[in-house]
Chains A and B, each alone.
Chain A
Amino acid sequence: NAGVTQTPKFQVLKTGQSMTLQCAQDMNHEYMSWYRQDPGMGLRLIHYSVGAGITDQGEVPNGYNVSRSTTEDFPLRLLSAAPSQTSVYFCASSYSRPGTGGNTIYFGEGSWLTVV
């Protein structure tokens, strides 16, 4: 996957702890987003950003915060982790909004999070 870097790859949290999943891209993409993937379900959109300083909610935003202070970075914060947030998290980026012509959306390699 070209240019979308996620850290950490694996993380175990205790219920109630907070943490930040990092996402960085080096392709000068305006659009960035976070998804979670759970067994038996499709990837679901958590939050997205169409540019620095602009963020919006997706399908499953509760329990997560985001900010976009630079074009390159789009961290996802878990405020008070719950077992229901055990999942695989994917960051994605593209030059512009999905569905605009010729726009390829690149995904990172994922972050595996377990909340105990």
Chain B
Amino acid sequence: EDQVTQSPEALRLQEGESSSLNCSYTVSGLRGLFWYRQDPGKGPEFLFTLYSAGEEKEKERLKATLTKKESFLHITAPKPEDSATYLCAVVSGGGADGLTFGKGTHLIIQP
């Protein structure tokens, strides 16, 4: 059974204070690891897909990295508009053809 664990559950940062969110996973044959952003009352918004260990992707102040056991979402010099819940999900070669999600990290950036 695929498992995804995100940490921390919640994180409060000052504007400009860089940090990282962690997503550790246990799967049978990773086919993809996804990062989404979710704002209150909205659906998840796609950020990145990573497919293999060593892969990195960047978008504005966000950078996602992947190892064989975990992924990190690095946030550099965050702004208040980066406040959201960040979701990690995996797809594996076993089980149903869908995403297995972690519980998310609730990020608050204070001005």
Contact = CB atoms under 8 A, between A and B. Distances in A.
Interface of A: 1, 4, 31, 33, 35, 40-45, 48, 50, 56-59, 90, 92, 97-101, 103-110
Nearest to A40: B103
Interface string B33-50: 010100001111110010
A92 B4 CA distance: 19
A48 to B, nearest CB: 5
B96 A101 contact: no
B101 interface: yes
B97 A50 contact: yes
B43 A58 contact: no
A33 B98 contact: yes
A57 B43 contact: no
Contacts, number: 78
Interface residues of B, number: 26
A104 B49 contact: yes
How would you classify the secondary structure of chain A's contact residues: helix, strand, loop or mixed?
Answer: loop
A42 B34 CA distance: 14
B68 interface: no
B43 A109 contact: yes
A109 B42 contact: yes
